[in-house]
Amino acid sequence: GSESVKEKSVSVILLAGGKGKRMGASMPKQYLPLLGQPIALYSFYTFSHMIEVKEIVVVCDPSYRTFFKVVDIFYGSNNLHIRALPSHYTKEKIHVDLKFAFPGKERQDSVYSGLQAVDLNSELVCIHDSARPLVTPGDVKKVLKDGWLNGAAVLGVPAKATIKEANSESFVVRTLDRRTLWEMQTPQVIKPELILERLCREGLEVTDDVSIVEHLKHPVYITEGSYTNIKVIRICSMILKFNTAASPCTTPDDLLLAERILSTS
């Protein structure tokens, strides 16, 4: 077959669920503003602009669907037309189908919920965590191509930290070879027949979507991504846990880093 991903052949599942209750926040962290835009909308806009994408299935609580139906969006023939985007995005019209799905209790339940809404004719499913707003179109294109060629692919970056393996009594057993270690990111791209086969079997607990495919013994390709594709809610979560009145401007580190990256790009 072709080595390139076809236009309108990809279904994106954007994981944006949750009510933020676990951390005591007034709203889920992925809806906090980053330079004035909700975090979840950045990757949403990025996927919306890609010619490979034909639909975006947003997995979120119904009360947060309005974030994706912003003033600048109007509907016609089930297509989404984004007319005005933040200044760092181009302002051409784009066309992509917008669907919604209910979040599940666990991450894999939300993925499965999103899969139920996916067009069965899609050739690739691209699963992304909306808490990673800085993913670039270039990295998405790379992981889509690798997923198309290999059946499953995931964005990752070589591990920078020194990783120690410890025993049950917290003593160091050995130092792992950093050259073979990768930190996983999203998107994670899978041919739909692979993931549906596994998710139909119950009782599987996974920390990321590609480990579902690993249980199938299907090889997963790691596409080297960018260190800037950070998850910006980790620090927010810690601060909001202890200070429910915290405003976005008082949540440093990840959010500030994200703002700096956006401001200079």
Residues 6+ apart with CB under 8 A from 157: 182, 183, 185, 224, 225, 226, 227, 229
Q: Domain for residue 209, yes or no?
A: yes
Residue 148 has phi, psi (to 5 degrees) of: -65, -40
Q: Domain for residue 55, yes or no?
A: yes
Q: Domain for residue 218, yes or no?
A: yes
Whether residue 251 has pLDDT greater than 80:
no
Supply the pTM of this predicted model: 0.81
| Domain boundaries, position 90 | 10-155+183-264
Q: Domain for residue 81, yes or no?
A: yes
pLDDT tens column, 56-99: 999 999 988 888 876 344 433 344 544 444 444 444 555 788 99
Distance of CA 229 to the CA centre of its chain: 10
Whether residue 193 has pLDDT greater than 50:
yes
Q: Which residue has the higher pLDDT, 260 or 50?
A: 50
- Taking CB atoms within 8 Å and a gap of at least 24, the contacts of 109-117 are 110/15, 110/17, 110/59, 111/13, 111/15, 111/59, 111/195, 111/199, 111/209, 111/212, 112/199, 113/59, 114/13, 114/15, 114/57, 114/59, 115/13, 115/192, 115/195, 115/196, 115/199, 117/57
Task: Give the single-character DSSP code of 5.
Answer: P
Predicted local distance difference test score (pLDDT) of residue 91: 45
Read off the CATH number of the domain in which 211 is found.
3.90.550.10
Q: Domain for residue 227, yes or no?
A: yes
Q: Domain for residue 177, yes or no?
A: no
Predicted local distance difference test score (pLDDT) of residue 94: 58
Out of 112-116, 179-183, 199-203, 217-221, least confident range: 199-203
Predicted local distance difference test score (pLDDT) of residue 206: 62
Q: Which residue has the higher pLDDT, 50 or 244?
A: 50
Residue 263 has phi, psi (to 5 degrees) of: -70, -30
Q: Domain for residue 168, yes or no?
A: no
Predicted local distance difference test score (pLDDT) of residue 3: 77
pLDDT tens column, 205-244: 666 666 666 776 789 999 999 999 988 865 555 445 554 4
Q: Domain for residue 172, yes or no?
A: no
pLDDT tens column, 129-154: 999 999 999 999 999 999 999 999 99
Predicted local distance difference test score (pLDDT) of residue 29: 80
Nearest CA among 201, 200, 198 for reference residue 216 = 198
Q: How many domains does the chain have?
A: 1
Predicted local distance difference test score (pLDDT) of residue 185: 92
